[in-house]
Amino acid sequence: MPFIFLVAAALYAGVRAQEGECLRWAAICGLALALAASVRLVGGPLLVVVGLWALAASGLPFRRRLCAFAVGAAGAAAVLVPYYVAEYAAVGDTGLSRNGVWNVYGRVAPFADCSKFTPPPGTERLCETTSRPRRPFTYQYTFNWYYSPAVRYFGNPHSATPEQTGRAAAFARAVIVGQPLDYAEEVGAGLLRYVAPHSFRGYGGGPSYDDLVRTGLPGFGAIGAAAALGGWGAVAAVRRRRHRSDSGGRLAEAP
């Protein structure tokens, strides 16, 4: 995938720059990171992280590190500045993502409790009384009309107006400010699943590895994973495949 390739190339170039190689490696590092950010917005923070690493994590003289940092920043600017200029000339606005805040809403909606904060004006309809364990995952809140109050009232990320997206953003910020510990728990569990993929079912925005791959967990398995990821249409497809019986009358498992 392009994002992974660009990040790997940037890190390789960054290491070569840290070894005191030609400054072109610093420029390549900044260029690759900026291209990665244009592919996926999550690449943006890497510009800051790698920049700080370039300044602090080398045995080179500080002046040399500062020079490498400046060259890397120039490489990133060579990609981002023309992009922003052309974008502003075309649409009168700038940004690598117009509606990325919908992902934030999808992250916080599963635990949002309006009794712990005051919802911003115009977002009261996003409040829910359904208990946390019975709410769907991030994906449904971001895109699914059936599950997501924001999608029902404000449209989906692809069709919402700037005003509607702003309301979803205001609600998401209010949840984070009003429930900081709940937010830290949700995001922290999602990070820990990188090293403990079998744990933290339901946290981190979706089903765990066991939910998706294994079938031994009570009440979950293929149908549960389909419900979490694709809604009732996907569930129906799984059930149709499961109910094709073989000649002995046994239920055929979905692949």
pLDDT, tens digit, for every residue of 154-207? 988 888 888 999 999 999 999 999 999 999 988 887 777 777 766 666 565 555
235 within a domain of the structure (yes/no): yes
Residues with Cβ within 8 Å of 165's Cβ and at least 6 positions away in sequence, in order, are: 98, 99, 101, 102, 154, 157
Tens of pLDDT, residue by residue over 39-86, are 888 888 889 999 898 888 777 788 888 898 999 999 999 999 998 888
pTM listed for this prediction: 0.62
Domain residue limits at 18: 2-91
- CA 231 – CA 235 distance, rounded (Å): 7
Out of 132, 154, 189, a domain closes at 189
Say what percent of the chain tops pLDDT 90: 34
Look-up: residue for tokens 């995952």?
Answer: 137
Number of domains in the chain: 3
Residues 144 and 185 in one domain: yes
* 164 and 182 housed in the same domain: yes
**pLDDT at residue number 179:** 96
Average pLDDT, integer, range 132-159? 88
* The domain boundary residue, chosen from 91, 124, 144: 91
* CA Rg value for the chain: 23
Do 80 and 109 lie in one domain? The reply is: no
Nearest of 182, 124, 178, 180 to residue 150 by alpha carbon? 124
Boundary of a domain, candidates 56, 91, 126: 91
